[in-house]
Amino acid sequence: MQLKVIKTFISRFLILILSFGLVIYTTNMWGTEGKGTISIVIANVAIVSFFSSIFAGSSTSFFASKYKTEQILVYSYLWSVLMGIIIPLIFSFASFQEKYVFYLIGISIFSSLLSTNINLFIGTQNIRSFNIYTVLQQLMHIVFIVLLVYVFNRTNVSTYFLSQICCYALLFIISFFQIIKKCSFSEISLSGVVFKSMLEYGWKNQLSAFIQFLNYRLSFYFLEYFEGIAAVGIFSIGITFSEAIWTITRSIAVILYSDVVNSKSREESILKTKVSLRISFLLMVVFVLGIIIIPSQTYEFIFGKAFRNTKEIMLVLSPGILAIAVSDMVGYYFSGIKELKILNIKSFAGLLFTVMLSLIMIPKWGILGACMVTTISYCISALILFWKFYRMTSFQLKDYIISRSEIHLFLQKFKK
């Protein structure tokens, strides 16, 4: 497990660097309004992906070792295309960002198809391919933006979305041929058992993920309503930073999920979860300290004068960033053992506080109000997960303290 974690950690660190580079470029290229538009459209893509991921998400990973790949892919691909068309059209009929509906359809379909293939790699413990494709998503997105802007002279904000479509489409085609080489066309069939199993597991898992997503993004929509699209652009920098930092700890969570799904020992899974908790807690403490140390002038220099309050935003968000990063380990553990009820409870509780507090705090304090709402929601969700996990297992302080032998082992693997 340690070697896989280190390799995945390195790949996610590359993603972190690329994400920061992309954020810096987009804010300087398209300003607060452009960044706000990107944030809202990508939030809409995420909504579509939650419907698509009923089959294309964790269902693909969970059943990869239980059913034939050919049977899984049939449902995942068909569902991805269907949801990628229907949900964006509903958005357009509701006059919700209808200007970008065709970009939304393209991004939704190809990102979901690619997600199916990546989740299949997780389910079959092909972590190497998972790492490669997750890094390439960021890298190729940047490459296509550069091509469209500096070669084809496209400089409007839609360039961001077109480059994403090109990136996802190319990576899906490459990964598809990688997977199909090991498949047999004669094995492709529609199975009622496979469909029912994937649907039952998928919608329960995605219900929690969708509610949690609303915790992450509902403040965008409240902020746009009360403060305007430019305020969303400024606030989104903090959220983008948070999610970029989470890519590091979620690399550990993905390995944990893959191990738990394929494990036959509950005790071993709990032990691995506690090890993951220790590593993620240490990493997040380091990153949060880094946020505190960086001067506010640095953020202003990087992103421009409109983003001068970025450090203040990050400071308010940092407790929530730490809480979610560490609790993700517990969440992936519960998902791996099909204990999905607690995931729905913690997500719904967080959403309840998000809605109630947004109506009070955002009109009163604007962007900082949105930050406070987000942090409170994150912390409540995390506390519920920890409460459930430590009711099932014994709580010990050493769960959050990495031993000297573990640090030594980590460094040895890293050197290799």
Phi, psi at 109, each rounded to 5°: -65, -55
Q: For residue 395, what pLDDT is reported?
A: 66
Q: For residue 413, what pLDDT is reported?
A: 46
Query: What mean pLDDT do residues 303-331 have?
Result: 83
Contact 157, 34 (CB under 8 A): yes
Confidence tier at 416 by pLDDT (50, 70, 90): very low
Confidence tier at 414 by pLDDT (50, 70, 90): very low
Q: For residue 173, what pLDDT is reported?
A: 94
Is residue 331 pLDDT above 90, yes or no?
Answer: no
Which has the minimum average pLDDT: 68-77, 118-127, 234-243, 400-409? 400-409
Radius of gyration from C-alpha coordinates of the chain: 21
Which residue's entry shows tokens 């960086």? Answer: 294
**What percentage of the chain reaches a pLDDT higher than 90?**
16
Which residue did the predictor score with more confidence, 45 or 194? 45
Query: What mean pLDDT do residues 271-291 have?
Result: 80
Burial of 152 (0-12, 13-18, 19+ CB in 10 A): exposed
Query: What mean pLDDT do residues 355-381 have?
Result: 90
Is residue 113 pLDDT above 90, yes or no?
Answer: yes
Contact 202, 55 (CB under 8 A): yes
Q: For residue 172, what pLDDT is reported?
A: 94
Contact 118, 172 (CB under 8 A): no
For the ranges 58-67, 111-120, 121-130, 386-395, the maximum mean pLDDT occurs at 111-120
Structural domain boundaries in the chain: 2-415
pLDDT, tens only, 165-200: 999 999 999 999 988 887 776 667 777 787 888 888
Q: For residue 11, what pLDDT is reported?
A: 66
Phi, psi at 99, each rounded to 5°: -60, -30
Both structure tokens of 343: 């995931």
- Distance (Å, whole) CA 114 – CA 245: 22
Q: What is the mean pLDDT of the chain?
A: 80
Query: What mean pLDDT do residues 297-311 have?
Result: 76
Alpha helices in 57-68, H assignment, sequence order: 58-63
- Distance (Å, whole) CA 120 – CA 387: 31
Is residue 298 pLDDT above 60, yes or no?
Answer: yes
Confidence tier at 397 by pLDDT (50, 70, 90): low
pLDDT, tens only, 217-237: 788 778 888 888 778 778 877
